[in-house]
Structure 1
Amino acid sequence: MKKALICGVSGQDGAYLAKLLLDKGYDVYGGSRDAQMSSFFNLRRLDIWSDVHLISINIHDFRSVLQTILKIKPDEIYNLAGQSSVGLSFEQPVETLESISVGTLNLLEAIRFSNLPIRFYNAGSSECFGDTGTLAADESTPFRPRSPYGVAKAAAFWQVANYREAYNIQAGTGILFNHESPLRPERFVTQKIVATACRVAKGSKETLILGNIDIARDWGWAPDYVEAMWLILQQAQLDDYVIATGKTTKLKDFIRIVFETLGLDWHAHVRIDESFFRPTDIAEGHANPMKAYKQLGWKAGHKMEDVARMMVESFNMRD
């Protein structure tokens, strides 16, 4: 039985990844800064809370990381921890950089120090690329991040690449484009849209207030993307991969599909507020996930339209 340690198990990706690994027969350890105090709400929603070994680990503390690794001796480590909101990173740039880059460095260094044959997955982000216009970014596209979050993820990416090349650590990064699910909190725009639209459909008189709805992104389904994470660590030689659907759509199209699914005209319920615009927003995000398809055999199973409808269905079932 393989052992896996998931840092950031309480988030969207961590919860879906834990379920995937449990289904594959792994012994799964889920890390949180304070496992006694954390609610692990997403693990409970997926009904796997009692199946995961919940442990306290502070990835900003090298000693905590090393002690945990030496105790568990995991075969695989998935680093999904750190501040995960692009919007919040503009308000908390220092915390964002530290939570992502320092944590990643501590994990890598602890693996090196332990001398254990651990395979390491790092959660990268399309935010590293910045605004590539209509160019579909792949693994060779230069990074020009336009947010503190993107800067932090770019730093972590190069840390992983350096440890792979300099110390022969088996480590790889999944450069994931936007991926959503019902486990997203409402601070993420997709869930904010779904939650508000569902409440309006049930009689609420509220108005959905948004920023720039002309931005375009490649949106996928989170459970598809955690499978790619696992596949990355199963390769003989670890590498970096762009993970995306390969199809880009505007946010206004996501809004339209959500409201249409509920039998509503979105124009009557949405207001634009320019104070919600980000200082340096990315107009469009395009991806070329061909390497993942050719080398991992991975392809996104759901497009944005599917994601929007499934999120609405799940929200209504929950309520």
Structure 2
Amino acid sequence: MMKRALICGVSGQDGAYLAKLLLEKGYEVYGGSRDAQMSSFTNLKRLGIDKQVKLLSISINDFRSVLQTILKVRPDELYNLAGQSSVSLSFEQPVETLESISVGTLNLLEAIRFSNLPIRFYNAGSSECFGDTGSMAADEMTPFRPRSPYGVAKAAAFWQVANYREAYRLHASTGILFNHESPLRPERFVTQKIVAAACRIAKGSPEKLVLGNIDIARDWGWAPDYVMAMWLMLQQEQADDYVIATGETNKLRDFIQVVFDSVGLNWKEHVYSDQSLFRPTDIIEGHADSAKARLHLGWRASHNMEDVVRMMVQEKVKALKEQSVKVIL
């Protein structure tokens, strides 16, 4: 029989790529959004799958909404990718961040338990839970010391999943994902902000790109690789938690240089750092050890930071050309 999946947060980057992957694997895919009638689902349209995903409204902060949706859809797999997703914004909206991530995850877990359906559950964790580990590569046994409201919320959700897995024997797993990017990232994320600005400047824009701390270092991967890891977790006989990353760490200034090199520019002539944009607390370096995922899931990243930059720049250049053609027409 055709498997049925419910993706909460289907309109985001990961939700769209996951929906595409599951459709390719023959799933019947339901996509949840807070207001499916008003949402544009731009990412699903960009991937050409908006007509194939069955869209519905679900508020994961509302237990009744969650339970009704689960009983209606009766999914074999449920992927929780919903909630406030910006680390920077979490400093401005800490309550919304905690509620949408922590309370939302708890509602999903409790609704699965209450429904008594054999649902396999994936929770989107984050490397932000680890905080600053220095040069040490974080794995599944590394203690959490989050340095943002977003990281705190993701840490709480992680332990909720672990508790329901142990206490109620739910097949519930968390993917502790390090940074992963794609052309579907909105410009409020620094990687897409850099790519978009570099492409505009290359076309003649006189703007300067103003950023915060460009000496931070992160492990950047390719989002479609990471949604494959999500799916693999739910195919295992035993639920568990996994760190998902490339294993390569680069400074943001290196990311910037590769982007500007890709469009034939010297980044130092167009970019400067403004200390007023620094976060109240931040992670200086992020290093990862995803050996467990390689061993148990057979998963490894197929793209590094340079690959990610190249694909993002190519897509942005293409989009700008299409916009220019529309203006001329």
* TM more than 0.5: yes
Match of 1:83 in 2: 84
Q: Matched residues in 2 for 1:142 and 1:308: separation?
A: 31
Q: Deviations over 1:202-256 (max 9, x none)?
A: 0000000001000000000000000000000000001000000001000000000
Aligned partner of 2:286 in structure 1 is 285
Structure 1 unmatched runs, 5+? none
2:256 is the counterpart of 1:275: no
Q: Which residue of 2 aligns with 1:104?
A: 105
What code does the residue aligned with 1:250 have?
K
For residue 307 of structure 1, what is the amino acid of its counterpart?
Answer: V
* Pairing 1:7–2:13 present: no
Partner of 1:204: 205
Measure, in 1, the Cα distance between the counterparts of 2:106 and 2:165.
Answer: 12
Q: CA deviation at 1:146?
A: 0.3
Structure 2 equivalent of residue 216 of structure 1: 217
Distance (whole Å) between structure 1 residues aligned to residue 22 and residue 140 of structure 2: 26
- The match for 2:325 is none
Rounded Cα–Cα distance in structure 1 between residues aligned with 2:215 and 2:63: 43
**Could you report, residue by residue, the CA deviation over 1:27-79 in whole angstroms, capped at 9, with x for unpaired residues?**
00000011000000000000000000000111111111111111110000000
**Secondary structure of 2:51's partner?**
helix
* In structure 2, C-alpha distance between the alignment counterparts of 1:88 and 1:63, rounded to whole Å: 28
1:175-186 correspondence runs (5 A)? 175-186=176-187
Query: Which residues of 2 match residues 60-209 of structure 1 at below 5 A?
Result: 60-209=61-210
**Aligned counterparts of 1:318 and 1:173: Cα–Cα separation in 2:** 34
CA displacement, residues 144-183 of structure 1 (integer Å, 9 cap, x when unaligned): 0000000000000000000000000100000000000000
Q: 1: distance between equivalents of 2:319 and 2:122?
A: 32
CA deviations on 1:61-102 (whole Å, 9 max, x unpaired) are 111111111111000000000000000000110110001000
Question: Partners in 1 of 2:273 and 2:65 — Cα distance?
Answer: 45
Aligned to 2:310: 309
Aligned position for 1:263: 264
User: What is residue 227 of structure 2 aligned with on the other side?
Assistant: 226
What is the percentage of aligned positions where both structures have the same residue? 79
Distance in 2 separating the partners of 1:99 and 1:115: 24
State the Cα distance separating 1:318 from its structure 2 match: 1.4
Matched to 1:98, the amino acid is: E
Cα deviation, 1:85-129, whole Å, max 9, x if unaligned, reads 000000110110001000000000000000000000000000000
Per the alignment, in what secondary structure is the counterpart of residue 137 of structure 1? coil
Residue matched to 1:22: 23
1:45 aligns to what? 46
User: CA separation in 1, counterparts of 2:257 and 2:303?
Assistant: 18
When the two chains are superposed, the root-mean-square deviation of aligned CA atoms in Å is: 0.4
Question: Secondary structure of the equivalent of 1:29?
Answer: strand
Q: Partner of 2:5: helix, strand, or coil?
A: strand
CA distance in 1, matches of 2:273, 2:220: 21
Cα separation, 2, equivalents of 1:290 and 1:246: 9
In 1, the alpha carbon distance for the partners of 2:198 and 2:16 equals 25
> 1:222, 1:318 → 2: CA distance?
19
Between the aligned partners of 1:31 and 1:72, the Cα distance in structure 2 is: 11
Distance 2:46 2:66 in 1: 28
SS in structure 2 at match of 1:51:
coil
Distance 1:46 1:310 in 2: 15
Aligned equivalents of 2:260, 2:310: Cα separation in 1: 10
Q: Which runs of structure 1 show a deviation greater than 4 angstroms over 4 or more consecutive aligned residues?
A: none
The residue identity in structure 2 corresponding to 1:7 is C
Q: 1:54 maps to which residue?
A: 55
Q: Give how far 1:271 is off.
A: 1.3
